[in-house]
Amino acid sequence: MVKAYILLTSAIGRVKDVFDRLKGLKNVKTVSIVTGPYDLIVLVEAEDLSTLTNTVVEEIREIEGVVDTNTAIIVQ
C-alpha cells in the first residue's frame, strides 16, 4: 500500500466544487479544505506507485478547477 498527501491549489471560487469531486474518487481517503498556500489537502491510498500516479495524473489533475498539485509520498 502506498499513501500520499496531495497538496492542491484550486481556481478562485472552485474550492467547494473540487472538494466534492475529490470525495467521489476511489483512492481518496480524506479531503480537507485548509488555509495557507494550498486550498485542499487530500490523503490518497493506492495499491502501488503506478496506481497512485494514475490517480494523481489521470483523475485529480483532470478535475476542472484544479490548478496545481504537490504530492508528498508517505515514507514512514
How many Å apart are CA 57 and CA 7, to the nearest integer?
A: 13
DSSP per residue, 2-31: EEEEEEEEE-TT-HHHHHHHHHTSTTEEEE
Q: Which fold is adopted by the domain 2-73?
A: Alpha-Beta Plaits (3.30.70)
Question: Could you state, in order of their start, the residue ranges of all structural domains in the chain?
Answer: 2-73
User: pLDDT for 6-23, tens place per residue?
Assistant: 999 999 999 999 999 999
pTM of the model: 0.93
User: pLDDT for 25-51, tens place per residue?
Assistant: 999 999 999 999 999 999 999 999 999
Q: Please report the pLDDT score of residue 73 as a whole number.
A: 98
Q: Please report the pLDDT score of residue 10 as a whole number.
A: 98
Distance spanning both ends of the chain, measured CA to CA: 12
The three cell numbers locating residue 34: 485548509
